[in-house]
Amino acid sequence: MLEALVTGSTGFIGSHLVEALLDKGINVRCLLRENKSNEKYLKKLDVQKFYVKNYSVEELNKSKALENIDYIFHTAGVTKGINFNDFKDGNYKPTFALVQSLLEQKNSDLKRFVYLSSTAVAGPSQSLNEPIVNPEHVSFIEHYGASKYLGELVVKNSRLPYTILRPGGVYGPRDIDYFNLFKSIRKRINPFFGNKNKYHAIIHVNDLVKGIMDATFSDKSAYQYYYLCNDEPVSWEALQSEIVNAVGKKVFTINFPSFFMDMATFFGELYSKISKKHSLLNKQKLMLSKPDYWIFSNEKAKKDFNFKPSISLEEGVKATYNWYLQNYWF
What would the pLDDT profile of 194-251 be if each residue is shown by its tens digit? 899 999 999 999 999 999 999 999 999 999 999 999 999 999 999 999 999 999 999 9
Determine contact, residues 242/175, Cβ cutoff 8 Å.
no
60-67 long-range Cβ contacts below 8 angstroms, 24+ apart:
60/97, 60/98, 60/101, 61/101, 61/104, 61/105, 63/31, 65/5, 65/29, 65/31, 66/5, 66/101, 66/102, 66/105, 66/107, 67/105, 67/107
Q: Domain spanning 3-173+201-233+294-312: which superfamily?
A: NAD(P)-binding Rossmann-like Domain (3.40.50.720)
Instruction: Identify whether the C-beta of residue 167 lies closer than 8 Å to the C-beta of residue 200.
Output: no
Whole-angstrom distance, CA of residue 104 vs CA of residue 255: 54
- Given a cut of 60, whether residue 269 has pLDDT beyond it is no
Please report the pLDDT score of residue 207 as a whole number: 98
Average pLDDT, stretch 57-77? 95
Q: Could you write out the DSSP letters of every residue in 52-87?
A: ESSS-HHHHHHSSTTTT-SEEEE----S--SSHHHH
Mean pLDDT for the chain?
Answer: 92
HSE-up of residue 37 (Cα within 13 Å, Cβ side): 26
pLDDT tops 90 at residue 290: no
Count other C-beta atoms under 10 Å from residue 239's C-beta: 19
Q: By percentage, how much of the chain surpasses pLDDT 90?
A: 83
Which pLDDT score is estimated for 144? 95
pLDDT of residue 283 exceeding 80: no
Biggest CA pair distance of the chain: 60
pLDDT value, residue 237 = 97
State the average pLDDT over residues 294-321: 98
- What would the pLDDT profile of 40-63 be if each residue is shown by its tens digit? 999 999 999 999 999 999 999 999
pLDDT of residue 37: 78
Q: What's residue 272's pLDDT?
A: 58
pLDDT band for position 80 (cuts 50, 70, 90): confident
pLDDT(275) > 80: no
pLDDT at site 102: 94
- State residue 100's pLDDT score: 96
Given a cut of 70, whether residue 267 has pLDDT beyond it is: no
What integer pLDDT is reported at residue 266 of this predicted model?
Answer: 58
